[in-house]
Structure 1
């Protein structure tokens, strides 16, 4: 066993994974719109759409890993905590707010634009503070990101306390979700619901993976590959037959498969990837694609010609994936990248 003292030279493969996760979510929402607007009822399409939902779980494991791994090499910086908080808030809010505010105004002026009826929270839409439904539907995941960022900030003051906090957090999540505690009225609060959601276990898996990589723990490649294959096979079986061993079990099996896949990729397939490669470009623009894709795919599929054949169905999905990637990349280049750099360049008073 050896401890990593210097940051890994390349983590480009993680950008590829981020891109894959984003496209999974695009497919998930597109399938929902195809069912709503075109009344397509296909078991295969439904299964593909259902699997796409787990792109969110993919994101959470990745996010937990990236945050913990990158922070490890910055703890000794005198302004580490300040920079961490500043960078995380800028990274979340600067790209989100224009789209979040736009969707809030759009649903206020044209309520029928939404595929379904749901009460919107202005507070959550503008701040991501858990209080209700955000106007931009995918923004619920950002509340979980912020929750993890907030708790992880403790590590900048004491990594020992942070480690104990993780243990308490996981135990609390398990007790809340798998005992009668969840029925207690005082725990039925939006903040508590986010804090004690089982989704947080996926961030913790990312945290544990970062520790394994940092400490240089080596697992045999063949065993690692077999684990990943087995975990994905179990996930596919459970999802296909819709078998829940316990609540959130399918998500956790998928997260375990992603955990192994990230480990194998970093340890055994870590290499420089051309930044102009398609999946690298999509990976770099992942957040913008994630933010922009849902309203975009709703518009595209709402006005798409009536789908009557498998070919037109496949073309519709490819069109949505292409436009989501293209418009997301444009938003990334024109606004996200420049705006983040501009805000970061402003000194804190």
Structure 2
């Protein structure tokens, strides 16, 4: 990576974060699925189990990007429609394609999980703790809750921000103990704190309060890597604390890298930038490929070279390539049309 001083407003480094987070989640799901008793029944690369850290990173990044993109609209109710249109068209169309494709897939390969009654809640991303169709959708349910609260901040900041802060404080309770009610456990899940971490990092970035961006980046990487290591060696350590420290590390990484990119010309790997653009497809589409390929490698058995390592590489490789194909052949052309059709409502 080379640097030279140059003013810059684009934030390609955020795409790198998206790419790495999506890959971490993909590798996590390959590891956990193959380790199930019905497949291999053992861990192949347990180092990937902390890949769940990709979710806290995504949540912090979401808080950062939403505040960065819309902070100038706060207090302007006329911008609410545009905010809703942009969020809906980004989240729903790709999700609908994946879910509709899962109907025949689930019916034939996983009939015990086939539940049409729960499909409307999945299609609409309604608040629930059940995700029988697509495991990764649970994060979207919390994302939509964050969007709903941010809309209040756009409408009236003096009402919206106290609500967001109160929401964060209530979610802090979940770090130290568990809610008895499933409803409270959803609406005040500890992971909501990470949206606020991202918003705080975005505020500091916008107002040029990140005076030592390299220190921020290095500290964030150190906290994230240390938490990953503790997560790996101490799997029984409370997930509550893992998520909080992953979130803190992610906030420092995002804030520091964004400020560095603003100050300097940074040459970033084009392939990772591409993966960042495709990260939503990777995140949503990989798991059906993982599920199908786990069944196939089990059938092929010893015909696959390098034993269980070979099986892992095949499952991960097909899931990765399949997700990229989904992005290139489905998400990208579809979203070009969707964005064109909705542009006049998104202003």
8 A contact 1:205–1:259 mirrored in 2: yes
CA distance in 1, matches of 2:188, 2:233: 28
Q: Does 1:309 align with 2:319?
A: no
CA distance in 2, matches of 1:285, 1:124: 25
- Please report how far the alpha carbon of residue 256 of structure 1 lies from its aligned counterpart in structure 2 after TM superposition: 1.1
Deviation at 1:234, TM superposition (A): 2.7
- Aligned partner of 2:245 in structure 1 is 253
CA contact (8 A) 2:216 2:256 kept: yes
Q: Is the 8 A contact 2:77 2:155 kept in 1?
A: no
**By how many angstroms is 1:280 displaced?**
1.5
Matches within 5 A, 1:198-217: 198-217=190-209
Q: Distance in 1 between matches of 2:322 and 2:286?
A: 8
Question: For residue 41 of structure 1, what is the aligned residue in structure 2?
Answer: 42
Other-structure match for 1:90: 89
1:140-197 per-residue CA deviation (whole Å, 9 max, x = no partner) reads 11111100000011111222322211221122112355357x22xxx432xx332101
TM-score by length of 2: 0.84
Whether the aligned pair in 1 keeps the contact of 2:281 and 2:327 (CA below 8 Å) is: yes
Could you tell me which of 157, 166, 169 is aligned with 1:168? 166
Alpha-carbon distance in 2 for matches of 1:101, 1:32: 25
1:127 aligned to 2:124? yes
In 2: Cα distance, 1:289 partner to 1:196 partner = 28
User: In the alignment, is the contact (CA less than 8 A) between 2:21 and 2:58 conserved in 1?
Assistant: yes
Alignment CA distance shift 1:255-1:334 (3 Å): same
Offset of residue 297 of structure 1:
2.2
1:146 matched to 2:144: yes
Q: Is the 8 A contact 1:12 1:273 kept in 2?
A: no
Tell me the residue number matched to 2:212.
220
Structure 1 residue runs of 5 or longer lacking an equivalent are 1-6
**In 2, Cα distance between the equivalents of 1:268 and 1:320?**
33
**Is 1:61 matched with 2:76?**
no
Q: Is the 8 A contact 1:27 1:321 kept in 2?
A: no
Contact 1:118 1:133 in 2 (8 A): no
Q: Alpha-carbon deviation of 1:259?
A: 1.0
For 1:101 and 1:47, the matched residues in 2 are separated by: 33
For 2:26, the equivalent position in structure 1 comes to: 26
| Residue deviations 1:250-278 (CA, integer Å, cap 9, x gap) | 11111111111111111113467789921
Judged with a 3 Å threshold, the aligned counterparts in structure 2 of structure 1 residues 174 and 333 are, in CA distance, closer, same or farther, namely: closer
**Quick one: distance in 2 between partners of 1:239 and 1:256?**
15
Deviations along 1:27-80, one digit per CA (max 9) or x if unpaired, are: 1111223224641523x61231x1222211111111111011100134477731
Contact 1:104 1:122 in 2 (8 A): no
Distance 1:261 1:79 in 2: 33
Query: Is the 1:100–1:135 contact (alpha carbons within 8 Å) kept by the matching residues of 2?
Result: yes
Tell me how far apart the structure 2 counterparts of residues 261 and 326 of structure 1 sit (CA, whole Å). 30
Deviations along 1:221-274, one digit per CA (max 9) or x if unpaired, are 453244224312430332122266655101111111111111111111346778
Cα distance in 2 for partners of 1:151, 1:314 equals 41
Is residue 2:256 matched to residue 1:264? yes
Say whether the 8 Å CA contact 2:214–2:256 is kept in structure 1.
Answer: no
Flag structure 2 segments of 5+ consecutive residues without an equivalent.
Answer: 1-6
8 Å contact from structure 1 (residues 202, 252) kept in 2: yes
Q: Distance in 2 between matches of 1:294 and 1:46?
A: 18
Q: Pick from 271, 290, 299: which aligns with 1:297?
A: 290
Aligned partners of 1:134 and 1:140 also within 8 Å: no
Contact 1:64 1:205 in 2 (8 A): yes
Secondary structure of the equivalent of 1:238? Answer: helix
TM-score by length of 1: 0.83
